[in-house]
């Protein structure tokens, strides 16, 4: 198996392992999130958790189905950047809360190294241009801002619905 194929396989495996850590073993992400961001906790419903993680796993798997073509590499880089951003989310939250954030271990041990190795490999091998890598990194960095705003919007909407008679 070459490096590109290994990286394509590693992305969905890392994401599945991370989701397992958050929700199965040791689990507790939903409860932890409610303590970390109580103002938006109503937004984090079971349906949301299932939907967003199913979407993540699907996006992680698409490059495998496409093969090593430029669009697949660009998608891989973008998703990897989102995962690195997720690492930063877990690390910041752990430091702020001074307690373990479910998902921190796999984020640090899998997401961060995978992002570094993947970006380095795809740039050095010529599978991605610097512009593509920068674009992917910017989208990945923007995702946490988008997600936080989306949770605030959803929480406001949920609050509006629960306050009606």
Model pLDDT for residues 23-69, shown as the tens digit of each residue: 999 999 999 999 999 999 999 999 999 999 999 999 999 999 999 99
Is residue 102 within 8 A of residue 49, CB to CB? The reply is no
Check: CB of residue 112 under 8 Å from CB of residue 84: yes
What is the number of other CB atoms lying within 10 angstroms of the CB of residue 79?
Answer: 25
Q: What confidence score (pLDDT) does residue 53 get?
A: 98
pTM above 0.85, yes or no: yes
The rounded distance, in Å, linking the Cα atoms of 149 and 158 is 14
Of 60, 53, 54, which is closest to residue 30 (Cα–Cα)?
53
pLDDT in tens, 6-15: 999 999 999 9
Which DSSP symbol is given to 128?
Answer: S
Residue 89: the pLDDT is: 95
């Amino acid at each position: 198996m070459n490096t590109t194929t290994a990286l394509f396989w590693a992305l969905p495996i890392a994401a599945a392992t991370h989701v397992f850590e958050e929700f199965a073993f040791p689990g507790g992400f939903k409860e932890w999130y409610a303590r970390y961001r109580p103002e938006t906790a109503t937004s984090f419903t079971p349906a949301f958790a299932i939907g967003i993680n199913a979407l993540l796993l699907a996006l992680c798997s698409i490059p495998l189905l496409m093969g090593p073509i430029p669009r697949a590499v660009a998608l891989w880089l973008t998703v990897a950047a989102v995962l690195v951003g997720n690492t930063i989310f877990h690390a910041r939250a752990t430091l702020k809360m001074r307690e373990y954030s479910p998902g921190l271990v796999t984020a640090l041990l899998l997401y961060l190294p995978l992002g570094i190795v993947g970006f380095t490999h795809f740039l050095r091998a010529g599978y991605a241009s610097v512009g593509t890598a920068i674009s992917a990194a910017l989208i990945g960095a923007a995702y946490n801002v988008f997600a936080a705003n989306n949770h605030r919007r959803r929480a406001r909407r949920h609050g509006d619905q629960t306050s009606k008679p």
